[in-house]
């Protein structure tokens, strides 16, 4: 089958699958946490119900807030959906003129980061500004780790195209357990935790505390604006977990297009993401949020790992 057409089909499947999967993933993460903590929990479909409720409400806006309150959530949504299109989640067949270049993907993710930060500022309250400021500080400090991890991952494949990287790992699994790759993956995971506002950088369960990052920015949003902000953030988490799972366990991903391979790809990525979500949730039980001003130390540590990964791959290999 024609490569472009199969790329389009895979991208379409990825988007539809992840739009369905992302709220489910959040439901699973919350339910696992509730169960372990001995609470009944709201069930794994609660995020879906929340979104439906929010979409049916009249959004409220503060006087003086601008079009950013409407456009910001759309921009975040577009950035997250683009992540779902560009990342090799179900299959590694890229579009011919937009290869899934990791530098481009990181920048696309930054569109969402910026949109969220501007929404936070637009409300004109102290909380929004505070969340926005902290969010951007963390995003700025995460950037070196993120790009160096990309660099380290790109060395064995000799390209920063993520689908080629996943294929290299699929065909020569020795790469996955090489020290360089492990270092890079750990660094990447810490960076992703920070980017998606998970523990120990931000506490996703917190509300109306002086410590919050993500929640503070969405406080002024309501109704469908809030719904898109939430879905966008969930999508981003799901897509990035999908990326990590495909880097660690690349099996099941579609490299040659066929209906069977596509079905296997869809099921395998769904399972991988949900399993990773459960692991994340269990892991978070044992973590407390670190102080805001210790976050840079954590990120400096992850940066050191990423830097080691790159230099090691030059000097050791």
Partner 1 sequence: MTGIGAGLLLQLGLGALAVVSALMAAPSLRSRAGGILCTLIAVTGFVTGLAALLGATGGLLIPIALPMDPLLLAPDRLGGLFMLVVSGVGILVSLYSMSSTRGPDASRTAWVAMPVFLVGMQLVPAATDSVSFLLAWEIMTLGSTVLLLADHASRASVASAGIWYSAMSQLSFFFILAGFAVLAAASGGTSFANLQIESGSWPANVAFVLFLLGFGGKAELVPLHVWVPRVLPEAPSHVSAAMSGAMVKVGVYGGLLVCVRLLPDGPAWWGIAIMLIGGASALYGILQASVSSDLKVLLAYSTTENMGLVFLGLGASMLLRGYDATAAADAALVAALLLAVSHAAFKSTLFLGAGAIIHATGERNLDRLGGLGARMPVTAAAFGVASLGAAAIPITSGFVAEWMLLQSLIHGGRLDGAVVSVAASVAMPLAVAVIALTAGLALLTFVKAYGIAFLARPRSTAAADAHEVPPLMQLALALGALSVLALGLLPGPVAALVAHTVSPNPTAAVQSVGLGGVSLPGIGAVLDPIMLVVLSALVAIPVIVSIIVSARRHPHRTVDLPWGGGGSRARPRMQYTATSYAEPLVRVFDDVLRPSRDVQVTHVAESRYLVERVQVEQRVSDVFETRLYRPVLNLFQRYGIVVRQVANGSIHRYLSYSFVALLIVLIVVSL
Q: How near is the Cβ of 136 to partner 1 at its closest, in Å?
A: 4
Comparing CA positions, the residue from 216, 221, 212, 215 lying closest to residue 71 is 221
Q: How near is the Cβ of 78 to partner 1 at its closest, in Å?
A: 5
Respond yes or no on whether the N-terminal peptide bond of residue 315 is cis (omega within 30° of 0).
no
b/e for 231-269, b at 16 or more Cβ within 10 A? Answer: bbbbbbbbbbbbbbbbbbbbebbbbebeeebbebbbebb
How far is the C-alpha of 177 from the C-alpha of 168, rounded, in Å? Answer: 13
Nearer to partner 1, 132 or 246 (CB): 132
Q: How near is the Cβ of 147 to partner 1 at its closest, in Å?
A: 4
How far is the C-alpha of 240 from the C-alpha of 254, rounded, in Å? Answer: 18
Residue 52: count other Cβ atoms within 10 Å of its Cβ: 10
Q: How near is the Cβ of 161 to partner 1 at its closest, in Å?
A: 8
3-state SS assignment for residue 254: strand
Nearer to partner 1, 185 or 261 (CB): 185
3-state SS assignment for residue 101: strand
DSSP β-bridge partners for residue 254: 91
DSSP per-residue letters across 240-251: HHHHHHHHH--T
Q: How near is the Cβ of 79 to partner 1 at its closest, in Å?
A: 8
Q: How near is the Cβ of 283 to partner 1 at its closest, in Å?
A: 26
How far is the C-alpha of 180 from the C-alpha of 295, rounded, in Å? Answer: 24
């Amino acid at each position: 089958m024609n490569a472009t057409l199969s790329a389009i089909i895979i991208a379409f499947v990825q988007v539809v699958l992840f739009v369905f999967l992302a709220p489910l993933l959040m439901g699973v993460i919350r339910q696992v946490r509730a169960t372990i903590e001995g609470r009944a929990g709201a069930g794994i479909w609660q995020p879906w119900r929340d979104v439906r409720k929010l979409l049916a409400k009249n959004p409220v806006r503060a006087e003086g807030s601008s079009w950013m309150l409407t456009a910001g959530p759309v921009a975040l949504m577009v950035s997250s959906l683009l992540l779902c299109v560009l990342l090799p989640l179900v299959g590694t067949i890229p579009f011919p003129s937009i290869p899934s270049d990791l530098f481009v993907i990181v920048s696309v993710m930054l569109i969402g980061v910026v949109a969220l930060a501007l929404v936070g500022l637009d409300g004109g309250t102290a909380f929004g500004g505070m969340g926005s400021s902290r969010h951007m500080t963390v995003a700025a400090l995460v950037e070196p780790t993120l790009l160096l991890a990309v660099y380290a991952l790109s060395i064995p494949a000799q390209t920063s195209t993520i689908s080629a990287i996943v294929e290299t790992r699929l065909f020569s699994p020795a790469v996955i357990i090489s020290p360089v790759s492990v270092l890079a993956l750990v660094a990447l995971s810490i960076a992703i935790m920070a980017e998606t506002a998970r523990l120990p950088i931000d506490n996703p369960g917190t509300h109306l505390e002086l410590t919050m990052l993500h929640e503070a920015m969405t406080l002024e949003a309501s109704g469908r604006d809030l719904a898109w902000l939430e879905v966008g953030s969930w999508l981003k988490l799901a897509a990035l977990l999908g990326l990590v799972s495909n880097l660690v366990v690349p099996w099941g991903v579609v490299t040659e297009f066929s209906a069977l391979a596509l079905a296997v790809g869809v099921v395998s990525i769904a399972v991988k993401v949900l399993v990773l979500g459960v692991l994340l949730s269990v892991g978070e039980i044992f973590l407390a949020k670190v102080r805001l001003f210790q976050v840079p130390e954590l990120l400096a540590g992850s940066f050191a790992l990423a830097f080691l990964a790159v230099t090691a791959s030059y000097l050791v290999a």
